[in-house]
Structure 1
Amino acid sequence: MNAPHDPPSRLAHLLTPAALAAQARAGALLIEVGCGTHAQYRAEHIPGARYLDTAALEAPPLFNKVPDADLLEVLLALGIRHDSTVLLYGRSTLAAARAAHLMLYAGVADVRLLDGGFAAWQAEGRSAAAGGEPPPRRANGFGAPFPGRPDYLVDMAGARALLARDDAVLASIRTWSEHTGVTSGYSYIRARGDIPGARWGRAGREGDVNSMSDYQDGNGCMLPAAVIETMWREQGIHRGLHTAFYCGTGWRASLAFFYAWVIGWPRISVYDGGWYEWSKALC
């Protein structure tokens, strides 16, 4: 049997402000994703955008994905089906990437992300709206099996299984100080260290778990694919492996996953529990 071809690049799913504006005018669903930032959304947002809080997507104490039935309800309430085109942006691109990954896991085939986030929109002097959300337009059904891509997410048992395989890798999307156990990176995660056997996939500035500066330029836009792939290859992470990205709780891993997805990597996942879940299990 011939080996399957790699999927094509999906770089068109990483949008400029002009592309996002054009696609929103054409009828795509536009959503601002935030974490406790509804007040900022009401003060100023991209015209036509609805608001989605990550609290609807992940739940304490570990901030893992909510149960599938709850995730499905969130999507249907937003009017999202499997065949919807969804445009996401955030004041934090990490929050938007968290939503993007879970929508892809759900089986939404066409998920797009504003490169550089709301700051990129503002930098071009584009108009903004204030006030509440547009009227809801609930979807009657998802229209396809749910979740459509369960392979895009692994639990702790799945992470352990990948560690035992020669054709798989866990990629730690954390700072060097987190990866080497100097700090946990989070005020609410006591344990320091990293998953034995994981490879360092890099992240961003030391001391800032919201930074992905190793992946982005000064404007918060994705670096060229070749730069990112070279960075990963130096750590033994390449597209020939099944790569499961993880971080502390999921946001940075979700952005690394989305970049790998748009580049066209064929076998990728997020280990949702990350270091928080793994370290809790050791206690």
Structure 2
Amino acid sequence: MSHFIEISTNELQKRNAQGAKIIDVRAVDAYNGWKLQNEARGGHIKGAKSLPVKWIKYMDWIESVKHKNIQEEDDIILYGYNSEESEKVAEQFKKAGYSKITVYNAFLEEWVKDDSYPMEKLANYKHLVSAEWLQKLISGEDPMEYNNNKYVVVHAHYRNRDAYLSGHIPGAIDMDTNALESTETWNRRSPEELKEALEQHGITADTTVILYGKFMFPDNDDEFPGSAAGDIGAIRNAFIMMYAGVKDVRILNGGFQSWQDAGFEVSTEDVPKKPVSDFGVKIPSRPELAVDVPEAKEMLAVQDAELVCVRSYPEYIGEVSGYNYIEAKGRIPGAVFADCGSDAYHMENYRNVDHTTREFHETADIWHNNGITPEKHLAFYCGTGWRGSEAWFNAWLMGWPKVSVYDGGWFEWSNDPTNPYETGVPEEVSREA
């Protein structure tokens, strides 16, 4: 028997209008749009926050709650696929001192089935897949929303095949980020080099590519900790593949951690790559996804475009360069700040506690507060392109129409002494995260 009051659909609507906090306790993938129970409509109740039942096992669960601005005095309504999910999270709230807690158990039976009840979803959610979806694909089932093209699963890493060989998703090949980006400039490689690299990895423009990363920490701090960055490297490769012309690129939400959390089999086989003879389209097929220095300068001079700085605050104000191979410290004048997190190798302001992508409403709200809005042409950048690529992917997933990566970033900008730069705390900068 439930220890918490169960409310009706009408009561939920009434209290929602009065400012109640509606919380979706299902997996983040269901929240984003995947129909994990074959429901009539995918997505979540409009205005709901995402707080998956999975997170209650984490010691810093209450920090996730506070991070979402859910306060003890709030009127809280929890819903999921079933009452058991909601009750577990409700108990956790109760233990934390929250008292105004009710549950809504008619989500599947009433809300989803009635088109008059508003729902929302991530525009391009199909490109952010779950471990369960990928397991079905690998096991030979035909998972919902798959287009039946040839597929390749890619374990992305930076100079760390040991991370791959020590355990990876069965059937996945490995790809060093250096295959697609230059070690001299850290920009995407030339069209000819990209064509050769993609073909050697068995990827054509019509291949469905599912990428993921794995968190492995380097033994020495002087080593570029790209392998510690997990999915940042995978998303960096995804950006370059999409720029080249791969039509269907997907990211495993939460990376290898999600695969392990789901309890799926891990392989140590060194899977051979199966080269193809021709990529199939001229590279780049989508040149608009990348911005270089001349266009970046043009964007700084107009009102309907923004360079978006996805660096840490110490980098932004010029306290540190962020990298042991970049001497110059500072920022590009006129760029808008979109705080990545603690340092040059982490994206915690864009991630949940389980490494899945942060709730897209929260990211959009923070960006709007900083003047980062979908009607503008936005070019995201960081030091060398990785963090900028992840922020760009967030915007692309949300369906924002004019988003790019300024590929050169601070590294390229600061290498030219004629380019202006700033240091110190600007007069106005929002650091909400």
Task: Within 5 Å, give how 1:21-170 maps onto structure 2.
Answer: 21-26=135-140, 27-91=150-214, 92-134=230-272, 136-170=273-307
Matched positions, count: 273
**What's the CA shift for 1:239?**
0.5
Aligned residue identity for 1:277: E
**What's the CA shift for 1:131?**
2.8
2:424 match: none
2:310 match: 173
Q: Is the 8 A contact 2:169 2:265 kept in 1?
A: yes
Query: Per-residue displacement from partner, 1:144-185 (whole Å, max 9, x unpaired)?
Result: 232110000011111111111211000000011111112111
Aligned residue identity for 2:132: A
Match of 1:266 among 390, 401, 409: 401
Match of 1:18 among 124, 129, 132: 132
1:281 aligns with 2:416: yes
- Structure showing greater Rg: 2
TM-score by length of 2: 0.61
1:226 aligns with 2:361: yes
Q: Is the 8 A contact 1:24 1:87 kept in 2?
A: no
Query: Per-residue displacement from partner, 1:37-73 (whole Å, max 9, x unpaired)?
Result: 1012112110000000011111232211111100111
Q: Is the 8 A contact 2:157 2:163 kept in 1?
A: no
Q: What SS is found at the alignment partner of 1:64?
A: coil
Aligned residue identity for 1:123: D
Q: Is the 8 A contact 1:43 1:131 kept in 2?
A: no
**What's the CA shift for 1:25?**
4.1
Q: What SS is found at the alignment partner of 2:202?
A: coil
**What's the CA shift for 1:143?**
2.1
Aligned residue identity for 1:155: D
Q: Distance in 1 between matches of 2:302 and 2:207?
A: 36
Q: What SS is found at the alignment partner of 1:65?
A: coil
C-alpha root-mean-square deviation of aligned residues, in Å? Answer: 1.4
Q: Is the 8 A contact 2:210 2:250 kept in 1?
A: yes
Q: What SS is found at the alignment partner of 2:348?
A: coil
Aligned residue identity for 2:414: S
Q: Is the 8 A contact 1:24 1:30 kept in 2?
A: no
Aligned residue identity for 1:227: E
**What's the CA shift for 1:35?**
0.5
Query: Per-residue displacement from partner, 1:8-33 (whole Å, max 9, x unpaired)?
Result: 81112111111122234455210100
2:321 match: 184
Q: Distance in 1 between matches of 2:175 and 2:339?
A: 28
**What's the CA shift for 1:270?**
0.5
1:3 match: none
Query: Per-residue displacement from partner, 1:180-199 (whole Å, max 9, x unpaired)?
Result: 11211111111111001000
Q: What SS is found at the alignment partner of 1:59?
A: coil
Q: Distance in 2 between matches of 1:221 and 1:49?
A: 20
Q: Distance in 1 between matches of 2:326 and 2:197?
A: 28
Q: Kindly report structure 1 stretches of 4+ aligned residues shifted beyond 4 Å.
A: none
Q: Distance in 1 between matches of 2:138 and 2:126?
A: 15
| Structure 1 range deviating more: 26-35 or 65-74 | 26-35
2:220 match: none
Q: Distance in 2 between matches of 1:62 and 1:234?
A: 33
Aligned residue identity for 2:247: A
Query: Per-residue displacement from partner, 1:96-133 (whole Å, max 9, x unpaired)?
Result: 01100001101111100011111111122211111312
Q: Distance in 2 between matches of 1:154 and 1:212?
A: 22
Aligned residue identity for 1:220: H
Q: Is the 8 A contact 1:180 1:193 kept in 2?
A: yes
Query: Per-residue displacement from partner, 1:215-250 (whole Å, max 9, x unpaired)?
Result: 111111111111111111111111010000000001
Aligned residue identity for 1:37: N
Q: What SS is found at the alignment partner of 1:73?
A: helix
Q: Distance in 2 between matches of 1:17 and 1:216?
A: 17
1:212 aligns with 2:347: yes
